Structure 1
Amino acid sequence: MDKPLVGIVMGSDSDLPVMRGAADILDELGVPWEIIISSAHRAPEKTADYARRAAGRGLVAIIAGAGGAAHLAGVIAGHTALPVIGVPIASGALNGVDALYATVQMPSGIPVATVAINGAKNAGILAAQIVGTGSPEVREKIIAYKEKMARQVGEKSARLQELGIDEYLKTKGGSKA
């Protein structure tokens, strides 16, 4: 694997099923990444050290995912000049709303770009777009990815027109409400 350009950090191994979405899309877009578990609360020194050393190791962006109080992205952002993308993870009684608020409500001077609850795939795409500002190869892969999505929408629309609502939903496993 090439030298990582994006760091993926999660507060707990229970976040891995969600955060895998970032790794998968970065792979698809050809962006090398690394992944660690580090808690803002249970391993604050490890988290701060990781953030402080990230740029010097060649990272250009960090994706941080956490549930609950979700201070991970903010703590990382407080210790690095790199762009940090927060992924609030659904957990607990509030299903991630608490994590969303904790991630998006940063004090002035410590920005964290925040994606949707469990939005690790979008965090990966945003990180790739950041990498793409300096890499025409990555930028071309992002353009191709978006063109592929547009083609898929067109194909689905044509299929809907051909089959009608009920038959289309049957092919998707859906049913009439």
Structure 2
Amino acid sequence: MKVAIFFGSLSDRSIMKITSEVLKTFNISYKSYVISAHRLPDILSETIKKVESEGSDVIIAGAGLSAHLPGIISSKTILPVIGVPIHCNNNYGSLGGIDALFSMIQMPKDVPVATVGINNSYNAALLAIHILAIKYQNIRELLLKFRMKKKKKLITEIKQNLLS
């Protein structure tokens, strides 16, 4: 396993599913866990130790509202943690995901969480892939091909729109 994906509740699944889809396109192995940082802290701690012992290289953690999951994980490991702030559609006074975003980007010194935009689990997966590309040559090659393909597609679209 190279990537561990955590999310705080089942309601986050639809956002975090995008992460796994992107990882699959790069043939990156992953495992997902649904664990609340507030309701199951002991299980979270045990799972982080398990993820480390299984050889994970990076962790992606998505959470909404107070969004402590990525920060708690970061406090318990030296693996890179990428946080995905999630906009929750519930009756708890959600602030459109801004609450989760601030929770992640305002981490205290010495406990970093790399944070992407609200609901942007796609970019979280790509950031994890960039991190993995440092260590794994096969992922690096796939990433370079991916970037070149995106570049060519964009150039083609621009040329077509200029000629229209």
**Which of residues 54, 75, 78 is equivalent to 2:75?**
78
Alignment of 1:27-176 (within 5 A): 27-92=24-89, 93-163=94-164
Number of matched pairs:
160
Q: Which letter does structure 2 place at the counterpart of 1:91?
A: C
Q: Offset at 1:49?
A: 1.4
Identity %: 36
Larger Rg: 1
Alpha-carbon separation, structure 2, partners of 1:81 and 1:50: 14
5+ unaligned residues in a row in structure 1: which ranges? 164-177
Q: Offset at 1:100?
A: 0.2
Q: Offset at 1:106?
A: 0.7
Aligned to 1:18: 15
Q: Could you give the per-residue CA deviations for residues 73-96 of structure 1, whole angstroms, max 9, x where no partner exists?
A: 001011111000000001253110
Alpha-carbon separation, structure 1, partners of 2:50 and 2:106: 25
Alpha-carbon separation, structure 2, partners of 1:24 and 1:117: 18
Q: Structure 1 stretches (4+) deviating beyond 3 angstroms?
A: none
Q: Offset at 1:128?
A: 1.3
Q: Offset at 1:150?
A: 0.7
Q: Which region of structure 1 is more displaced relative to structure 2, 49-58 or 116-125? A: 49-58
Q: Could you give the per-residue CA deviations for residues 138-176 of structure 1, whole angstroms, max 9, x where no partner exists?
A: 00111111111111111111121122xxxxxxxxxxxxx
Q: Offset at 1:119?
A: 1.1
Q: Which letter does structure 2 place at the counterpart of 1:158?
A: K
Alpha-carbon separation, structure 1, partners of 2:21 and 2:73: 22
Q: Which region of structure 1 is more displaced relative to structure 2, 65-74 or 39-48? A: 39-48
Q: Offset at 1:70?
A: 0.2
Provide the alpha-carbon RMSD of the alignment: 1.0
Q: Which region of structure 1 is more displaced relative to structure 2, 51-60 or 70-79? A: 51-60
Contact 1:87/1:115 (<8 A) preserved: yes
Q: Could you give the per-residue CA deviations for residues 31-50 of structure 1, whole angstroms, max 9, x where no partner exists?
A: 11111100101111111111
Alpha-carbon separation, structure 2, partners of 1:94 and 1:159: 40
Report the TM-score when normalising by structure 1.
Answer: 0.87
Contact 1:51/1:77 (<8 A) preserved: no
5+ unaligned residues in a row in structure 2: which ranges? none
Alpha-carbon separation, structure 2, partners of 1:106 and 1:116: 15
Q: Offset at 1:14?
A: 0.8
Report the TM-score when normalising by structure 2.
Answer: 0.94
Aligned to 1:170: none
